[in-house]
Amino acid sequence: MKLPESLDNLIEQFEKLPGIGPKSAARLTFHLLAKPDEEVEQFGRAVSDLKKKLKYCSICFNISESEPCEICSDSQRNQSIICVVEEPLDIISLAKTGYDGLYHVLGGAISPMNGIGPEHLNIESLISRIGKNGDKIEEVILATDPSLEGEASAMYVLQQINKLQEQQSKLKKIKITRIARGLPVGGDLEYADEMTLSRALEGRKEY
């Protein structure tokens, strides 16, 4: 049976989302179909508007409506600590633990298999950020995923910071820590519950 085009269209769009198969996609589409026009229109607008007002913060590369982002421009936050994460989504999880320092979003993880090298990530900007704020920064927490790629990225960032410290001998010694692997290895940071994540922050160890 050929479905009406607009139905087929939306089912196809839903199928592109992660974790949504053909059956779920059809279910979601028919669910919307049964909703009032206004609700469906609201949803459509929310999708269309998503990227219109958003930009990446030039300091930490988090997603934001302002420049610099809310976190970077919040002087109440602890300016002496930077938490390095892979994705903006990770910040939401970490924010729930009560962490009140700054962030730096790498925009992914090093993954040679997918052709992603250090040069594709916001690592250079992190190093120069640390170099410029060397008097303020006391600790860098490496909170990349506890996966192969995440570990590799953490190691690479560690090396780069060490190199920076060798070059700028006047730089205050920065503590570099890695979140504890209380997180299930091979897991994904964004799925961790708040407690596990809090423990992981508490149990961080110096390299």
Contacts with a copy of itself by CB under 8 A lie at 1-7, 9-10, 12-13, 16-19, 23-24, 26-33, 37, 39-54, 63-65, 70-71, 87-89, 91-92, 95, 190-191
**In terms of CB distance, is 98 or 206 closer to a copy of itself?**
98
**In terms of CB distance, is 45 or 132 closer to a copy of itself?**
45
Instruction: Work out how close the CB of 64 gets to a copy of itself at its nearest, in angstroms, rounded to a whole number.
Output: 6
Pairing of strands 139-142, 55-56: unpaired
Q: Which tokens belong to 106?
A: 């790498």
CA distance 132 to 139: 14
Q: Which tokens belong to 93?
A: 């999880």
At 195, give phi and psi (nearest 5°).
Answer: -65, -50
Half-sphere exposure of 98 (CA within 13 A, CB side): 6
Task: Decide if 205 contacts 143 (C-beta within 8 A).
Answer: no
Instruction: Work out how close the CB of 38 gets to a copy of itself at its nearest, in angstroms, rounded to a whole number.
Output: 10
Instruction: Work out how close the CB of 4 gets to a copy of itself at its nearest, in angstroms, rounded to a whole number.
Output: 4
Instruction: Work out how close the CB of 176 gets to a copy of itself at its nearest, in angstroms, rounded to a whole number.
Output: 24
**DSSP 8-state symbol, 120:** G
**In terms of CB distance, is 109 or 161 closer to a copy of itself?**
109
**In terms of CB distance, is 2 or 173 closer to a copy of itself?**
2
CB atoms within 10 A of CB 173: 8
Instruction: Work out how close the CB of 15 gets to a copy of itself at its nearest, in angstroms, rounded to a whole number.
Output: 11
**In terms of CB distance, is 67 or 135 closer to a copy of itself?**
67
Q: Which residues pair with 206 in a beta bridge?
A: 177
CA distance 207 to 205: 6
**In terms of CB distance, is 6 or 159 closer to a copy of itself?**
6
Instruction: Work out how close the CB of 156 gets to a copy of itself at its nearest, in angstroms, rounded to a whole number.
Output: 21
Task: Decide if 126 contacts 79 (C-beta within 8 A).
Answer: no
